Structure formats: structure tokens, C-alpha cells
């Protein structure tokens, strides 16, 4: 299946392009592009991730497709960090009805773990007193997991039976949920400790 001239056998390019605008907004709102990071910025990011990652992980890991379900469960560490930060995330009822949607959601999980490499380093250097078990664990082996994900996704989409546009839509849904929580917490940090989310 083609998407603007890019074949679905290379679905990572399609997914990256399909969510680029939302990814950029998450990066800007998270505050981790600034020269220094604040504890409020970190709390907002944890609140956003804790409102999304557990539901997405559960939906993907619960799939009967062994390839897409091969995801390490980091959500318990994230929820523990949130608890220690005084954050009560509002659960998200995500529905991933088909394999393409699950691959799109897994793209966001894999990408966030890759981003954890930089975030874990900055937390260690700038906010060492704050709980960061999730980012530390997610950063470990993230490059190898990302490479495996790319390879697996190309295999999954190679025969054109999966709709890459459905994967993009699912990935965008996850990013939009992240943005909803980030935007609320940045505008009103008091919502972070009160289950901020829509």
C-alpha cells in the first residue's frame, strides 16, 4: 500500500511523517528542549505518559499477534513514579480494534522509549532527587528495541494486508491524548496531582 509515494513496506517513514506535527508539539510542551528542566515540566510529562502508556501497553501486549505484542511492560514503573510524585493519572479507555492500529500505538511506545535515553540522562544530571525508574528502565536497551521494532513492522506491513493509514490514525490518537494532558498541566500545574486528563 502506498502513502504519498512511500510504500507500506517502509511503514516507519509513513508513521513518522504522519505524526510529525503532533510529535513536535509534544516535544515543545514537555519542556525538555529547554536548556534546563524544571520539576513541574517533569511532573507534567509523567502525568501525560501515565495517562496513556498503561492503556496502550495493555492493549498491545494483550494482542493475539505475537509480533506486535512483544513489548516490555514498563507501565508499572511509570505508575510507581507517578505515585511517588503525587500524581493520580486518569485512566484512558483506548480501543485498538485491529492489528494496524496496534502497530501504530506500538510505534509511539517504541519511540517514547527511544526518547527516554536523553530524558533519563537529563534527569540524572539535573533532577537526581526525583523518581525516574521508568525512564531509566526504558532507556536501557532502547536502541536495540527500536531496531527490532522497525524490522518487525516492516515484516508486518510487507504484504499490504494491513492498512498503514489506520496505523497512522492510531498513533495520532495516542499523541493527541498526550497533548491533551500536557496542555492542561502546563496551563494549570495544579491539575497534575488531581488526575489531570480528559
Q: What is the pTM of this model?
A: 0.87
Say whether domain 2-193 belongs to CATH 1.10.3720.10: no
Q: Are 68 and 103 in contact (CB under 8 A)?
A: yes
103 to each of 12, 61, 71, 142, how far by Cα in Å?
A: 10, 11, 11, 17
Q: What is the pLDDT along the chain (198 residues), one digit of tens a residue?
A: 344 434 455 899 999 999 999 999 998 888 877 788 899 999 999 999 999 999 999 999 988 888 787 889 999 999 999 999 999 998 888 889 899 999 999 999 999 999 999 999 999 999 999 999 999 999 999 999 999 999 999 988 987 788 999 999 999 999 999 999 888 877 666 666 544 433
Domain ranges within the chain, ordered by starting residue: 2-193
Amino acid at each position: 500500500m502506498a502513502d504519498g509515494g512511500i510504500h507500506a513496506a517502509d511503514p516507519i517513514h509513513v508513521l513518522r511523517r504522519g505524526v510529525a506535527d503532533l510529535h513536535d508539539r509534544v516535544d515543545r510542551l514537555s519542556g525538555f528542549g529547554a536548556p534546563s528542566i524544571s520539576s513541574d515540566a517533569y511532573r507534567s510529562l509523567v502525568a501525560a505518559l501515565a495517562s496513556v502508556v498503561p492503556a496502550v501497553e495493555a492493549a498491545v501486549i494483550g494482542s493475539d499477534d505475537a509480533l506486535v505484542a512483544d513489548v516490555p511492560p514498563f507501565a508499572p514503573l511509570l505508575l510507581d513514579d507517578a505515585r511517588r510524585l503525587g500524581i493520580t493519572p486518569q485512566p484512558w479507555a483506548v480501543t485498538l480494534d485491529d492489528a494496524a492500529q496496534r502497530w501504530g500505538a506500538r510505534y509511539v511506545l517504541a519511540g517514547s522509549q527511544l526518547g527516554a535515553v536523553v530524558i533519563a540522562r537529563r534527569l540524572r544530571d539535573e533532577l537526581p532527587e526525583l523518581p525516574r525508574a521508568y525512564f531509566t528502565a526504558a532507556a536501557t536497551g532502547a536502541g536495540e528495541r527500536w531496531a527490532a521494532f522497525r524490522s518487525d513492522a516492516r515484516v508486518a506491513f510487507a504484504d499490504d494486508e494491513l492498512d498503514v493509514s489506520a496505523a497512522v490514525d492510531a498513533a495520532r490518537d495516542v499523541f493527541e491524548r498526550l497533548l491533551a494532558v500536557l496542555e492542561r498541566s502546563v496551563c494549570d500545574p495544579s491539575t497534575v496531582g488531581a488526575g489531570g486528563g480528559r
